[in-house]
Structure 1
Amino acid sequence: MKIAYQGIAGSYSETAIQNYLNQEENQSLEAELISYPNFKEMTQDLVTDAIDLGVFPVENSTTGLITRTLDLFKGLPVFVEEERYQEVRHTLWGLPGSSIGELRKVYSHPEALSQSQAFFEKHPHIEAAPYVDTAQAALYVHEEQDLTKAALAGPQNGELYHLVPLLNQIQTEKTNTTRFFMTKHWQKSEETVEKELEAYYQKYPERTRWMLYVETKHEPGSLVTLLNIFNLFDCNLEGLDARPIRDQPFKYGFFIEVDVSNLTGNYQLLWENLEYASEYLQIIGCFKSLNIE
């Protein structure tokens, strides 16, 4: 099984995969981990079956939706079967002999830098320098051998890249957590979407959290009409995020998450109503909602 992630060894995505494989039900999997330089290439290989599973960060408890990954799913035959939550505890990694007082630049992924804003406010002499990702920032600091440079990265990066911790748990929110989607290529059958969803629920009755991408007419009341359908079918709306529609300035589609565990009626009727109220409707995934302590 080929499992893909963006970044290099030591990244939070790679850590999320290792935790996934360490679960009892997954320990028998023969997995080959494949790293990618960016999410676009990873998504392309997912839908052409060059890889079996793609692990995408989609949301952070501090900075919110990670739109650069979710936006890639629009219009593509991808399907999320599981969500994972990974604690994100940033360590400030420097070279042996370096100190916070002499640092001038700290490198990391822009998300990690945003999640650690309080540190930079406390140390105005240090510049937050965006880098490709957290693990590659740690590798860069190791290669540069410059005592004025450090990296924000996960706890495992010190041993991997021969760095020393200057400060642990640097993130502003101590409970900082990233949500990942375990995503597959949706091999669609000749059945309608609603029948496929019904069959999927019969096989996995615990997977009652849906993510949809929806575009409605750009006129008053269109979104309200769509959202009222969830109320009519006793579905609990759990997320609504607007995203720009490509090549349509100031028009927006919506990522919607909804709990259908108390569905009144059947999937076919719900889907038909959603289609009627939409200009475009896509199922992104069906998965079991996990509780975060």
Structure 2
Amino acid sequence: MDLSELRVEIDKVDKQIVELFEKRMDIASQVADYKISTGKKVFDKEREDQKLRAVKELASSEFNKTGVEELFSHLMSMSRKLQYQKLASAGAAGNLPFIQIDSIDKASSRVCYQGAEGSYSEAAMKKYFGEEVNSFHVDTFRDAMAVLEDGSADYAVLPIENSTAGIVSEIYDLLTEYEHYIIGEEIIPIRHCLLGVPGTKLSDIKRVYSHPQSLMQSARFLSEHSHFEQISMKNNAFAARKVAQDKDKSQAAIASALAAKVYGLEILEEGINQADSNSTRFIIVTNRKVFLKDAHKVSICMEIPHEAGSLYHMMSHFIYNNLNMTKIESRPIEDKDWEYRFFIDFEGNLADSAVKNALRGLREEAKMLKILGNY
């Protein structure tokens, strides 16, 4: 047979495959009806594993066995998506344990941020809550989570991602550890300045203090002054405060213009970070399971089975529900070598049926799923 004849034969087989696929999905729809009436779960891993072993044995070669396993894995995944959709249409999607609110009472809220006065975290807080916000600061990210937990603060403002340095991994880990939720975000442009006590000249400086990321982001400027000793601090504002308190012209800090204003320092050089588009994304976190009615981004974290194809099948829930995934990150799971927890952002609102449907499917098939917030 020549190529054109072979293609005709493939077309015939493909037509039969489509007919059989539609017949299979029709049966899957009937299965969904049964599960709706009985309250039975859609995902039955033991049954699916048993089925995959059985169909593999029907194939004639090792190559085909692998192909059949992959094919039927996809077929069963599509069957589940159809069943989840039918459950949602029948009103069996379930209610998510989050309460929709119209707005945040910013005027009477107590807010904490990590760092010190003059930090970028303070700037993000004031941009979100307003200049007159009732606020206080803490030393560490964990401290911020702790004051939310004990009720000393209603909200915390925390950096989660920088456009050049990447994610703040500690924040991701703390979001899984504490029962706190993201309700908003604020993006602050980062423009580092070299600060010194009034009257300081560049030639006076011997030591520069700042956060390690700020030192890295200002590497080009610092390389031009290689005699500067670079000393890491927990926070840029801490560095500015130290320079102000020591009143030593041989010391300088890399921090914001706001820090210069707060601590009475002089801006010796402005915009010393090399990336003009550098910005940091801050999240607004609360200990209540609430979301704003106009929220448009959902953040989740999940742990999945440590086996081939698991992540693909999880991602398919976004595809089948026409949801746009905007970000995915992974973090190692403590005490589980080479296993990872995934953090995902996607567009949507917890009140949307497509979001509810996707989350139902993810919750049934993931080992662990936590909604981190809708904002």
TM-score range, shorter chain: 0.7 to 0.9
Q: Residues of 1 paired with 2:165 and 2:248: CA distance? A: 30
Q: Report the equivalent of 2:277.
A: 175
Q: Residues of 2 paired with 1:61 and 1:267: CA distance? A: 27
1:100 to 202, 205, 211: 202
Q: Residues of 1 paired with 2:214 and 2:263: CA distance? A: 18
The amino acid that maps onto 1:106 is V
Q: SS where residue 257 of structure 2 aligns?
A: coil
Q: Report the equivalent of 2:374.
A: 286
1:230 deviates by: 0.8
The amino acid that maps onto 1:250 is W
1:184 deviates by: 0.6
Confirm whether residue 113 of structure 1 aligns to residue 215 of structure 2.
yes
Q: Report the equivalent of 2:192.
A: 90
2:170 to 56, 68, 71: 68
Length-normalised TM-score, structure 2? 0.67
Confirm whether residue 215 of structure 1 aligns to residue 303 of structure 2.
yes
Q: Report the equivalent of 1:17.
A: 125
| 264 and 209 in structure 1: CA distance in 2 versus 1, 3 angstrom threshold | closer
Q: Report the equivalent of 1:47.
A: 149
Structure number, greater radius of gyration: 2
Q: Residues of 1 paired with 2:316 and 2:354: CA distance? A: 16
The amino acid that maps onto 2:356 is Q
The amino acid that maps onto 2:342 is F
| 268 and 19 in structure 1: CA distance in 2 versus 1, 3 angstrom threshold | closer
Confirm whether residue 252 of structure 1 aligns to residue 365 of structure 2.
no
RMSD: 2.1
The amino acid that maps onto 1:66 is V
Q: Report the equivalent of 1:226.
A: 314
What CA deviation, in whole Å up to 9, does each residue of 1:241-282 have, x standing for no partner? 110111222221111111136x99544322221012311101
Q: SS where residue 208 of structure 2 aligns?
A: strand
Runs of 4 or more above 4 Å deviation: none
Tell which has more relative contact order, 1 or 2 (C-alpha 8 A, sep 6+).
1
Confirm whether residue 59 of structure 1 aligns to residue 161 of structure 2.
yes
What CA deviation, in whole Å up to 9, does each residue of 1:109-135 have, x standing for no partner? 122222212212222222321102111
Length-normalised TM-score, structure 1? 0.85
Q: Residues of 2 paired with 1:85 and 1:225: CA distance? A: 32
% identity of equivalent residues: 29
The amino acid that maps onto 2:327 is G
C-alpha contact (below 8 Å) 1:222/1:277 kept by paired residues: no
C-alpha contact (below 8 Å) 2:295/2:348 kept by paired residues: no
What CA deviation, in whole Å up to 9, does each residue of 1:90-125 have, x standing for no partner? 110012333223422211112222221221222222
C-alpha contact (below 8 Å) 2:348/2:355 kept by paired residues: no
Q: Residues of 2 paired with 1:59 and 1:5: CA distance? A: 15
C-alpha contact (below 8 Å) 1:234/1:260 kept by paired residues: no
Greater shift, 51-60 or 62-71, is seen at 62-71
| Unmatched 5+ stretches in structure 2 | 1-108
| 228 and 127 in structure 1: CA distance in 2 versus 1, 3 angstrom threshold | farther
Q: Residues of 1 paired with 2:288 and 2:118: CA distance? A: 29
Q: Residues of 1 paired with 2:162 and 2:327: CA distance? A: 14
What CA deviation, in whole Å up to 9, does each residue of 1:217-254 have, x standing for no partner? 11111111111111111111110111011122222111
Q: Residues of 2 paired with 1:128 and 1:36: CA distance? A: 25
Q: Report the equivalent of 1:150.
A: 252
C-alpha contact (below 8 Å) 2:323/2:354 kept by paired residues: no
C-alpha contact (below 8 Å) 1:6/1:13 kept by paired residues: yes
Q: Residues of 1 paired with 2:352 and 2:159: CA distance? A: 32
Q: Report the equivalent of 2:113.
A: 5
1:89 deviates by: 1.0
Q: Residues of 2 paired with 1:47 and 1:237: CA distance? A: 30
C-alpha contact (below 8 Å) 2:112/2:155 kept by paired residues: yes
C-alpha contact (below 8 Å) 1:234/1:264 kept by paired residues: no
Higher percent of residues as strand? 1
Q: Report the equivalent of 1:192.
A: none
The amino acid that maps onto 1:210 is V
Q: Residues of 2 paired with 1:224 and 1:105: CA distance? A: 50
Higher percent of residues as helix? 2
Q: SS where residue 62 of structure 1 aligns?
A: coil
Q: Residues of 1 paired with 2:288 and 2:199: CA distance? A: 51
Q: Residues of 1 paired with 2:254 and 2:356: CA distance? A: 48
Confirm whether residue 241 of structure 1 aligns to residue 329 of structure 2.
yes
